[in-house]
């Protein structure tokens, strides 16, 4: 029985559920009634569902650059929130999923990967992300996806917080789990996608 109304349906295929949850997160962040910590915790579950959809052959999905960029941005969001355990888990997922990338075109992320740099500790890459976020309106859609097109979208800039700790006040907010997010996380942890 659901305690909070207006929660998304989480009974469909993993990619569909992930999309529903992404929309839920975006809507709540846009409305200003969800904190970044709670949004991040649910976004980790979204990433887990996405991974099911492209790692298990039954779902026959491919990992696009946007999916890999989404994992990276989720990882640096964890670092900016100072959440070591999820940060380590997301770094592992990123490393595991590199070989599954289905797009092999020129992109700022894939180009950087070829250098062998550890992107999760790469200050110069964070600066590139910050510049892309700043110049987003003038960038070509053909060269995307860009940092503000994946979680945490325009609601937070983890790369800026990592470059200058304390510059993004949203990362210093209290870390109390939102009741709606808590309910969804419990359902995901105990339901068909556990």
CA distance 114 to 52: 26
- The sign of the CA dihedral 91, 93, 98, 103 is negative
Both tokens of residue 119?
């992107």
Give Cα separations from 148 to 12, 25, 157 (angstroms): 27, 14, 8
Please state the rounded mean pLDDT for residues 88-115. 90
pLDDT band for position 58 (50/70/90)?
Answer: confident
Nearest by Cα to 167 from 68, 80, 40, 104: 80
> What are residue 101's phi and psi, to 5 degrees?
-55, 125
Burial class (CB in 10 A: 0-12, 13-18, 19+), 110: middle
Point out which residues pair with 79 in neighbouring strands.
Answer: none
* pLDDT cut 90: percent of the chain above it: 70
pLDDT at 164 (0 to 100): 94
Whether the pLDDT of residue 19 is over 50: the answer is yes
**DSSP state at residue 127:** H
CA distance 79 to 153: 16
pLDDT at 173 (0 to 100): 72
């Amino acid at each position: 029985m659901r305690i909070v109304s207006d929660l998304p349906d989480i009974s469909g295929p993993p990619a569909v559920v992930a999309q529903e949850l992404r929309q839920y997160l975006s809507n709540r962040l846009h409305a200003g009634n969800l904190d970044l910590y709670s949004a991040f915790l649910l976004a980790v579950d979204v990433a887990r569902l996405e991974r099911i959809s492209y790692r298990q052959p039954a779902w026959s999905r491919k990992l696009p650059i946007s999916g890999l960029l989404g994992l990276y941005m989720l990882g640096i969001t964890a670092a900016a929130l100072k959440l070591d355990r999820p940060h380590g888990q997301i770094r592992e997922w990123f490393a595991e999923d590199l070989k599954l990338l289905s797009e092999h075109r020129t992109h700022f992320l894939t180009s950087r990967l070829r250098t062998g740099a550890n992107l999760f500790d790469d200050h110069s890459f964070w600066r590139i992300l910050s510049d892309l976020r700043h110049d987003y309106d003038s960038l070509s859609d053909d060269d995307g996806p860009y940092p503000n097109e994946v979680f945490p979208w325009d609601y937070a800039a983890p790369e800026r917080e990592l470059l200058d700790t304390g510059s993004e006040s949203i990362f210093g907010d209290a870390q109390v789990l939102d009741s709606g997010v808590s309910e969804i996380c419990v359902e995901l942890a105990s339901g068909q996608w556990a």
